Amino acid sequence: MPDYLFHLHDGPSRPPVDEPVEARDDAEAYDLAQIRLSLSRAFTDVRVRRNGVELFHLKRDGKS
């Protein structure tokens, strides 16, 4: 199972919060990132990385 890292951002003045995540594949990681972003109003966007490579950048307004 690939390991992913979510970089959760809450604005330009604070460093991102990193959360390790396990997912079956990139599609599941994308779905989990959407869910994680919707769980807390504290974060404005999330960048999803696997092996140091950014795969997705999701924003609270639904744009990616």
Closest CA to 58 of 35, 25, 42, 41: 35
- pTM: predicted TM-score of the whole model, two decimal places: 0.84
Closest CA to 21 of 43, 44, 47, 42: 47
The answer to whether 36 and 46 are in contact (CB under 8 A) is yes
pLDDT in single tens digits along all 64 residues of the chain: 679 999 999 877 788 899 999 999 999 999 999 999 988 888 899 999 999 999 999 998 765 5
pLDDT of residue 60: 82
pLDDT of residue 62: 60
